[in-house]
Amino acid sequence: MSEALLDIQDLHLEFDTFDGVAKVLAGVNLTLERGDVLGLVGETGCGKSMTALAIPRLISMPPGRITNGQILFNGEDLLQRPTGSMQQFRARHLGMIFQDPTTNLNPLFTIREQLVDAVLYQQANVKSVPGRWRGFLPSARQMRKEAQSRAIELMGLVGIPDAELRINDYPHQFSGGMRQRVLIAMALAGEPDLLIADEPTTALDVTIQAQILRLIRSLVHQLGLTVLLITHNLGVVANTCDKVAVMYSGRVIEQAPVRDLFHQPAHPYTQGLIRAVPSGSTSRGGLQGIPGLIPNLIDPPQGCRFHPRCPQVLEHCASQVPGPGAIGSDHLAFCHLYPEGA
């Protein structure tokens, strides 16, 4: 376990709402080793995005509150870091892209402005970047010029043609797929260790989706990235990821290499999930087909949150939260069918 880049342990996150406390994350366990491309899947509202946003500490608190757990990055617990140093951490170690490339770029600034800032502020030793008003200083101009050639290089890396020209455009002059490439370039500007991608292709049409996923895959090889890829789509997982973690109502209930998960799903929820994928095709992953409703987060079921819907429910499922049970090497399930340590 010592080589884990990211190790989330027993993470609990709550939100104060008007109806009561929503227990959004209730013990998330997730491990990424260097070089992993891990897919995080689960129904809508199960806490995938919250898990992702908890890592760079981007959840506003209040109303959010982390009540327990650790987020170990290279062995250091990010939750213990002073808030003020998180910006530096994000700049140096983290890249993040989101679902809708249209709303994630600032509409009022050119690609150059945004990309050059990304390059400048993610450099290890840059504390303050001279703004436009000090731009006449030769040193500042030199700095921006260097950052700009790096920006153009990054645009080439993510496959934007005519980068020297297009860098002067505004986001609305780019197509959706190209905008997502720009955002990837911005995320990669500081040569991060970890790229978190929260449904990066959901807002794009199918052919563009495939291109973006192929790009991410190729960047993993070129740059030695580690990727946490959040998706609804089991097809995306099958094509893009090496490992997969399945979430259900605020917990990871199974983590395994992609092959193992598809061939020997251990958790009854995962089994339902795999069965729900139309046979003969892995390109569309539906998460329907499991009877019952998604649990309420304010008053969730005790014990295993899946037990009211579980076809193989045991007596103690309703009272005890299951711990990790090893199924194979690298394959864990959090289910009483697989007792801890077995």
Ligand X SMILES: Nc1ncnc2c1ncn2[C@@H]1O[C@H](COP(=O)(O)OP(=O)(O)OP(=O)(O)O)[C@@H](O)[C@H]1O
Angstrom distance (rounded) from CA 181 to CA 175:
10
Query: What Å distances lie between residue 152 and 138, 172, 310, CA to CA?
Result: 21, 19, 52
The answer to whether 98 and 200 have CB atoms below 8 angstroms apart is yes
CB of residue 231 vs Mg ion: minimum separation in angstroms? 10
CB of residue 56 vs other proteins: minimum separation in angstroms? 6
Q: Does 88 bind other proteins (CB under 8 A)?
A: yes
Interface residue with other proteins, options 85, 106, 142, 302 (CB under 8 A): 106
Closest residue (Cβ) to ligand X?
49
Burial class of residue 311 (count of CB atoms within 10 Å of its CB; 0-12, 13-18, 19+): exposed
Q: Does 94 bind other proteins (CB under 8 A)?
A: yes
Q: Does 202 bind other proteins (CB under 8 A)?
A: no
CB of residue 216 vs ligand X: minimum separation in angstroms? 18
Angstrom distance (rounded) from CA 5 to CA 13:
22
Q: Does 45 bind ligand X (CB under 6 A)?
A: yes
C-alpha gyration radius of the chain: 21
| Residues 169-205: b if buried by 16+ CB within 10 A, e if exposed | ebbeebebbbbbbbbbbbbbbbebbbbbbbbbbebbe
Which region, judged by CB under 8 A, interacts with other proteins, from 19-27, 99-107, 263-271, 305-313?
A: 99-107
Question: Would you say 33 or 191 has its CB closer to other proteins?
Answer: 191
Provide the pairing of β-strand 64-73 with 4-17: antiparallel
Interface residue with Mg ion, options 49, 51, 201, 231 (CB under 5 A): 49
Question: Given the structure tokens 């050059």, which residue do they identify?
Answer: 116
Q: Structure tokens of 190?
A: 């500081």
Q: Does 114 bind Mg ion (CB under 5 A)?
A: no
Distance of CA 171 to the CA centre of its chain: 24
Q: Which residue blocks in the chain are alpha helix, DSSP H?
A: 48-54, 86-93, 111-122, 138-157, 163-166, 176-188, 206-223, 234-240, 258-263, 268-276
CB of residue 156 vs Mg ion: minimum separation in angstroms? 31
Phi, psi dihedrals of residue 292, rounded to the nearest 5°: 105, 175
Question: Would you say 98 or 121 has its CB closer to ligand X?
Answer: 98
Question: Would you say 110 or 296 has its CB closer to other proteins?
Answer: 110
Residues 37-56 that bind other proteins (CB under 8 A): 56
CB of residue 65 vs ligand X: minimum separation in angstroms? 11
Give the one entry of ligand X, Mg ion, other proteins, none that residue 172 binds, where binding means its C-beta sits below a cut-off of 5 to 8 angstroms depending on kind: other proteins
Question: Would you say 160 or 287 has its CB closer to ligand X?
Answer: 287
End-to-end CA distance of the chain: 18
Question: Would you say 202 or 283 has its CB closer to Mg ion?
Answer: 202
CB of residue 206 vs ligand X: minimum separation in angstroms? 19
Question: Would you say 176 or 324 has its CB closer to other proteins?
Answer: 176
Binding site for other proteins (CB under 8 A): 56, 58, 87-92, 94-98, 100, 103-110, 117-118, 121-122, 129, 131, 170, 172, 183, 186-187, 189-190, 196
